Structure 1
Amino acid sequence: MWTIGVDEAGRGPVLGPLVVGAVALPTADLEILVRHGVKDSKDLTDKKRKQLVDWFHEQSNQRGWKYSLIECGPARVDNGVQTTGLNLLEVELFAEALIQIRQQVDQPVHVINDACDVNEQRFTDRIAARLPQWPWKDSTIHSEHKADATFPIVGMASILAKVERDNRIEQISQDVGIPLGSGYPSDPNTKAALPNLLVDSEPHPALRWSWKTVTRAWNEKYGVDPPKRTYKDGQQKTLF
């Protein structure tokens, strides 16, 4: 029996990707995460998160642990918000991460999702409906609010997702030549950077154009709403 934890990072920021991480390991190995201090990424320093990611990759090489990361770019986030809504977009991303794990783990699994939906069972059912041949043999799936704080394996998934997102924000910051902060609208560095990302005929591609923060800033600068964004399937990355 294997256990899989799934979580996301970057649901609320005004720029950068939304990243979903999934971690899978033999259930007998779960105690190793506990002993090593794995917990919700929000309760860890940036330095500690990076150390845990390095440690996880070492353990994965030694023990055969598996993971997947689904990077959903701003264009797909905007498309999701404007069509099905953010919760259903996360359902799709969680399912994609689990499908990638399933390609690596052909064993009975117990899946634990960090639920973003107020209705945990609905979140579970929607993900399960998108998994090919579900129910998998001798496997179960459930979702909980704050699962990243309750289950270390979900915490590990949140850490992988958070560090991956932070790395992408740093890359974008280097590309544009200014500090972008965390990407959250309340971050002073993000606030200061926003006008510099609105200087062309349309908002910078790293921004989420559908966010009220962008709409308001664009309207204040140009007197009109920002242009509608187009999206083509395949504008996300999968890493595992």
Structure 2
Amino acid sequence: MDLTAFEQDTTVNCVLEGAVPARCKEEPCCLGIDEAGRGPVLGPMVYGVCYSPVSLKDEIVKMGLADSKTLTEDQREAIFKKIDDADDCIGWIVDVLSPNYISNSMLRRCKYNLNELSHDTAIGLIEKVLAKEVNLKEVFVDTVGDPDKYQAKLHKIFPDLEIVVAKKADSTYPIVGAASICAKVARDRSVRDWKFMEAVDVENYGSGYPGDPLTKKFMSDNIDAIFGYPQFVRFSWSTAAKLLDEKAVPVHWEDDDDDDVTPVNQPAISAFFQSNSRPAVQKKHAYFQDKALTQMSTL
């Protein structure tokens, strides 16, 4: 898994993928979806998918797949190598969502919350697999939000697929466990090798979770009073917003106070709907117009 493209520009998302096994285009396949890094205030969130022939479900179990959170980093790396080496029967794709993209999405004028972002990313990955002509039949998804509503949403978009959305799917369905490992390996590597364009010098920023003491220290020590945080930080998180309110210079946008003020010399909008107070001009009868007659006096 080569993250060079993402490391060169960590402000944008990056899709990485393995080879498509030939037999996955011929045999009915199952696919698993999971994410890594939903909760941290630091670094990217990564969505991963793995797919393989349905007939190989037992073979996948033998790889020792499990929920990535129950494994050490070394164990995850070892299992990912098995997945990547098995390119004759297993395919994988990861979508690395930059912290900058996550923050901008959540703070834009038309709100785009993390659940919607997660759903759209998962849908996009299924579409990518189908576009590769994989003979996809079954999809297993670790839920985000209400599993029944999420499953109905996916069924509506992909009516020809058998879809199961469930809590803790990564520990129930081996193919989801494989996707979980791919996603976690990509996040681990990107966080570990993060290159700060802001010239931040720090040895250990912890796991990235708000409760981690090392992460707390990083957040407290690396806030700029004017520019806020480096782009490694998801500034849309309440953890970051609270510290910015406490330590950064307050920003006042002048046009915030001018929303209800009518500029000088500009008529109020109500003026365009007022009736014309000038007396109506009575139209002349055709007889008087034809004879060019005008009224000389009023009786």
TM-score relative to the length of structure 1: 0.84
Q: Is the 8 A contact 1:23 1:153 kept in 2?
A: yes
The letter for the 2-side match of 1:217 is: L
Q: Is the 8 A contact 2:66 2:178 kept in 1?
A: yes
> Which residue number in structure 2 is paired with residue 106 of structure 1?
134
2:238 is the alignment partner of 1:216: no
Higher relative contact order (CA 8 A, sep 6+): 1
Please say which structure displays the higher CA radius of gyration.
2
**Displacement after TM superposition at 1:190 (Å):** 1.1
Give the Cα separation in 1 of the matches to 2:252 and 2:53: 48
What is the aligned counterpart of 2:170 among 148, 156, 161? 148
**Displacement after TM superposition at 1:225 (Å):** 7.3
Change (3 A) 1:155 1:225: farther
Give the Cα separation in 1 of the matches to 2:210 and 2:151: 30
For the residue of structure 1 that corresponds to 2:193, the secondary structure is helix
**Displacement after TM superposition at 1:148 (Å):** 0.5
> Which residue number in structure 1 is paired with residue 98 of structure 2?
73
**Displacement after TM superposition at 1:182 (Å):** 1.2
Aligned length: 219
More helix by share: 1
For the residue of structure 2 that corresponds to 1:168, the secondary structure is helix
TM-score relative to the length of structure 2: 0.68
> Which residue number in structure 2 is paired with residue 135 of structure 1?
159
Give the Cα separation in 2 of the matches to 1:105 and 1:170: 35
| Deviation sequence 1:43-74 (CA, Å, 0-9, x none) | 111110010011110012xx242111111111
What is the aligned counterpart of 1:188 among 205, 208, 213? 213
**Percent identical residues:** 29
2:31 is the alignment partner of 1:4: yes
> Which residue number in structure 1 is paired with residue 270 of structure 2?
none
For the residue of structure 2 that corresponds to 1:67, the secondary structure is strand
The letter for the 1-side match of 2:91 is: K
What is the aligned counterpart of 1:15 among 42, 57, 64? 42
Gaps of 5+ in 1: 228-240
What is the aligned counterpart of 1:177 among 187, 201, 211? 201
Show structure 1 runs of 4+ deviating over 4 A.
none
Gaps of 5+ in 2: 1-27, 254-299
For the residue of structure 2 that corresponds to 1:172, the secondary structure is coil
For the residue of structure 1 that corresponds to 2:132, the secondary structure is coil
Q: CA RMSD in A?
A: 2.1
**Displacement after TM superposition at 1:77 (Å):** 1.6
Change (3 A) 1:197 1:172: farther
What is the aligned counterpart of 2:65 among 32, 38, 45? 38
